[in-house]
């Protein structure tokens, strides 16, 4: 057996599709099928997994669960010299990562824990029905929510489990869930009384802000002194939110903040967490498509951008934001080009690493995707796409060795998302800045080509700009990460929302600063660059 590990975090939708191919081979191989299947339920689950639509994250999770059982049995059989047509070794942490993705769907998509549990997802009035979770799955997701310090989500998942137990008339489960739910609500309220609404937990190997509701479940059982303490926490939250709102459109947000922000225990270490906390409510609305971008001052153009070679085939350019610049190139890549890059990437896909508090991790709930890298010369489509980017933006991508980074081709995981982040922080990190100067400088701009259309979810959002972009195959999103003084702009802070239905692929191209200085010179006065 080839132990081709499902790289962490979780599994990409593309790999779940490959698992289905192997499940069909197992079903068609009678000796293997007889050795693996244990009863009618096993057979039914196997047959269902082989044909179910894995673009739905609940279906993909169901397939992974069956694949976990199959892979364990196949590997044991292989140890005894019995070989089956199976290529994968699924780990428990693959399942855990996908369950974390399902938790993200509950947090960001507007679907309740009960809807997710039943496989009944909806997005903008369209419903997507998938395989329901069982009691053990809900229990595991509840534990993940607890580990991620999402105390509000813990309560919601326990409520879902209780309601499902009631529908199924399982009295023993109902009694157990009622006790656990009451305990979770009390712990939630106690935390607010003791710590308030703005608290960062540093007790584990990853600092996290603790998320609660803005209200109590059992206010009537608290003493007057504790209620007064909660009111002080509410007032502190309102003061902080008002202060942060005044900085929402400043650039950069985290430089030289008002000293008032450091009241109530807020310091340099905790401020970024609280800013993320403040932005999350807007991120949730943007991920749900409640703020489709409409700005009467922004326009669409058929433009050649001063390039004579583009006079007869101008670019379809839509300016979404002028400062900092964010734009969309419609119909930038053909269906043939997007398909070619996806197919070429499938054999190279590996886990997308993420820097978490100065530690590179392969497994983290902050990112669920797989990635492959292509130099411009590795594939003719990559080369042609770079030439087209040069014409559109007047960039130099190939004249110097470090003019740009390799293409990053990314396939999102089941329920996959990318946590909010900046692609460059400019001079904010002096050590990294000096190191990057030896490799072409900072990431000056980002050019993101959508290689697929996400039917539901998977939006790219900029919470400080109120921008929410739905991926459409062949279109390309572009923005500058730095201003004219090489200073990062926090308004380019962006996030990839969880995919509710579909198979999301993107291709990122990052240009570097030093090769672009003639076309985009540095200026002492900090200004945003423009294409028009």
> Per mean pLDDT, which range of 125-134, 268-277, 368-377 is the poorest?
268-277
| Cis upstream peptide for 252 (omega within 30°) | yes
Total length of the chain: 532
Say yes or no to pLDDT of 7 above 50: no
Residue 115 lies in a domain: no
User: Is residue 486 within 8 Å of residue 513, measured between CB atoms?
Assistant: yes
Based on the fold, state whether residues 297 and 199 are members of the same structural domain. Answer: no
User: Is residue 144 within 8 Å of residue 100, measured between CB atoms?
Assistant: yes
Tell me how far apart the alpha carbons of residues 448 and 511 are, in angstroms, rounded to a whole number: 11
Based on the fold, state whether residues 327 and 394 are members of the same structural domain. Answer: yes
pLDDT at 345: 92
Q: How confident is the model at residue 419 (pLDDT cuts 50, 70, 90)?
A: confident
Q: Which of 265, 287, 309 is the last residue of a domain?
A: 287
pLDDT at 297: 56
- At 202-231, the pLDDT tens digits run 877 778 889 999 899 999 999 999 999 999
Q: How confident is the model at residue 293 (pLDDT cuts 50, 70, 90)?
A: low
From 198, 285, 181, select the one nearest 244 (Cα to Cα). 198
Q: Where in the sequence is the domain holding 469, given as residue range(s)? A: 292-516
The winner for highest mean pLDDT among 14-28, 152-166, 268-282, 422-436 is 152-166
Say yes or no to pLDDT of 341 above 50: yes
What integer is the mean pLDDT of 475-496? Answer: 88
pLDDT at 9: 34
User: DSSP label at 42?
Assistant: H
Residue 253 lies in a domain: yes
Based on the fold, state whether residues 476 and 353 are members of the same structural domain. Answer: yes
Residue 62 lies in a domain: no
Residue 38 lies in a domain: no
pTM: 0.88
The winner for highest mean pLDDT among 200-204, 279-283, 301-305, 384-388 is 384-388
Based on the fold, state whether residues 310 and 385 are members of the same structural domain. Answer: yes
- The helix/strand/coil state of 120 is strand
What integer is the mean pLDDT of 440-466? Answer: 93
Based on the fold, state whether residues 210 and 242 are members of the same structural domain. Answer: yes
**Structure token pair of residue 230:** 């909660």
Say yes or no to pLDDT of 10 above 70: no
What integer is the mean pLDDT of 252-278? Answer: 58
The winner for highest mean pLDDT among 99-108, 315-324, 415-424 is 99-108
Based on the fold, state whether residues 401 and 448 are members of the same structural domain. Answer: yes
- Of residues 306 and 174, the one with the higher pLDDT is 174
Q: How confident is the model at residue 359 (pLDDT cuts 50, 70, 90)?
A: low
Displacement of CA 472 from its chain's centroid (Å): 17
Count of the separate structural domains present in the chain: 2
Based on the fold, state whether residues 315 and 271 are members of the same structural domain. Answer: no
Tell me how far apart the alpha carbons of residues 41 and 43 are, in angstroms, rounded to a whole number: 5
Extract long-range pairs of 222-225: CB within 8 Å, 24+ residues apart. 222/189, 222/193
pLDDT at 252: 46
| Cis upstream peptide for 315 (omega within 30°) | no
What integer is the mean pLDDT of 454-464? Answer: 92
Residue 349 lies in a domain: yes
Assign residue 362 the CATH number of its domain.
2.60.120.620
Based on the fold, state whether residues 320 and 389 are members of the same structural domain. Answer: yes
Q: Which of 229, 264, 287 is the last residue of a domain?
A: 287
Based on the fold, state whether residues 385 and 427 are members of the same structural domain. Answer: yes
How many other C-beta atoms can be found within 10 angstroms of the C-beta atom of residue 112? 16
Q: How confident is the model at residue 412 (pLDDT cuts 50, 70, 90)?
A: confident
Residue 44 lies in a domain: no
Say yes or no to pLDDT of 357 above 50: no
Q: How confident is the model at residue 255 (pLDDT cuts 50, 70, 90)?
A: very low
- Of residues 124 and 363, the one with the higher pLDDT is 124
Q: How confident is the model at residue 6 (pLDDT cuts 50, 70, 90)?
A: very low
pLDDT at 268: 56
- Of residues 7 and 279, the one with the higher pLDDT is 279
pLDDT at 114: 97
Q: How confident is the model at residue 62 (pLDDT cuts 50, 70, 90)?
A: very high
Residue 152 lies in a domain: yes
- At 227-244, the pLDDT tens digits run 999 999 999 888 878 777
Residue 464 lies in a domain: yes
Based on the fold, state whether residues 459 and 403 are members of the same structural domain. Answer: yes
Based on the fold, state whether residues 264 and 328 are members of the same structural domain. Answer: no
**Structure token pair of residue 514:** 């030093």
Name 412's Cβ contacts closer than 8 Å, sequence gap at least 6.
Answer: 12, 13, 368, 369, 418, 458, 496, 499, 503, 504, 505
What integer is the mean pLDDT of 117-123? Answer: 96
To the nearest whole number, what is the mean pLDDT of the chain?
Answer: 85
Backbone angles phi, psi at 461, to 5 degrees: -125, 145
Say yes or no to pLDDT of 246 above 80: no
- At 189-201, the pLDDT tens digits run 999 999 998 888 8
Based on the fold, state whether residues 320 and 360 are members of the same structural domain. Answer: yes
């Amino acid at each position: 057996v080839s132990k081709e590990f499902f790289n962490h975090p979780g599994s990409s939708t593309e790999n779940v599709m490959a698992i289905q191919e192997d499940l069909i081979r197992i079903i068609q191989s009678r000796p293997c099928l007889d050795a693996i299947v244990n009863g009618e339920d096993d057979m039914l689950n196997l047959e269902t997994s082989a044909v179910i639509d894995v673009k739905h994250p609940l279906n993909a999770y169901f397939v992974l669960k069956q694949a976990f059982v199959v892979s364990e049995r196949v590997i044991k059989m292989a140890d005894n010299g019995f070989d089956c047509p199976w290529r994968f070794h699924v780990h428990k942490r693959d399942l855990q990562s996908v369950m974390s993705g399902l938790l993200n769907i509950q947090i960001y998509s507007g679907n309740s824990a009960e809807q997710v549990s039943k496989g009944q997802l909806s997005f903008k009035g369209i419903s997507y029905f998938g395989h329901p979770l069982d009691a053990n799955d809900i229990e595991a997701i509840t534990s993940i929510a607890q580990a991620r310090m999402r105390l509000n989500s813990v309560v919601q998942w326990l409520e879902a489990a209780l309601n499902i137990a009631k529908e199924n008339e399982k009295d023993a489960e109902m009694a157990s869930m009622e006790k656990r739910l009451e305990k979770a609500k009390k712990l939630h309220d106690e935390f607010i009384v003791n710590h308030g609404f703005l608290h960062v937990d540093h007790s584990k190997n990853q600092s996290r802000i603790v998320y609660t509701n803005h209200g109590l479940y059992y206010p009537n059982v608290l003493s007057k002194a504790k209620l007064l303490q909660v009111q002080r926490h509410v007032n502190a939250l309102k003061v902080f939110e008002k202060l942060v709102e005044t900085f929402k459109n400043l650039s950069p947000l985290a430089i030289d903040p008002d000293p008032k922000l450091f009241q109530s225990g807020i310091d340099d270490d905790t401020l970024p967490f609280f800013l993320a906390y403040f932005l999350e409510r807007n991120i949730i609305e943007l991920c749900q498509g409640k703020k489709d971008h409409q700005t009467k001052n922004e326009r669409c153009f058929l433009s050649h951008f001063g390039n004579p070679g583009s006079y007869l085939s101008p670019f379809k350019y839509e300016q979404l934001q002028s400062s900092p610049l964010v734009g969309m190139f419609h119909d930038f890549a053909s269906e043939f080009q997007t398909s070619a890059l996806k197919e070429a990437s499938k054999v190279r896909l590996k886990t997308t690493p993420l820097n978490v508090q100065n530690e590179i991790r392969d497994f983290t709930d902050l990112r669920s995707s797989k990635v492959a890298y292509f130099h411009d010369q590795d594939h003719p489509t990559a080369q042609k796409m770079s030439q087209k980017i040069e014409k559109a933006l007047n960039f130099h991508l190939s004249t110097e060795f470090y003019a740009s980074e390799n293409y990053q081709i990314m396939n999102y995981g089941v329920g996959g998302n990318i946590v909010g982040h900046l692609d460059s922080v400019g001079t904010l990190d002096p050590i990294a800045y000096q190191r990057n100067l030896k490799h072409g400088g900072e990431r000056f701009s980002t050019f993101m080509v959508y290689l697929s259309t996400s039917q539901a979810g998977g939006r790219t959002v900029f919470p400080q700009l109120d921008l929410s972009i739905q991926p459409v195959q062949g279109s390309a999103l572009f923005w500058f990460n730095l201003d004219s003084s090489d200073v990062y702009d926090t308004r380019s802070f962006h996030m990839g929302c969880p995919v509710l239905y579909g198979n999301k692929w993107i291709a990122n191209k990052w240009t570097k600063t030093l090769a672009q200085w003639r076309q985009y010179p540095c200026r002492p006065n900090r200004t945003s660059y423009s294409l028009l």
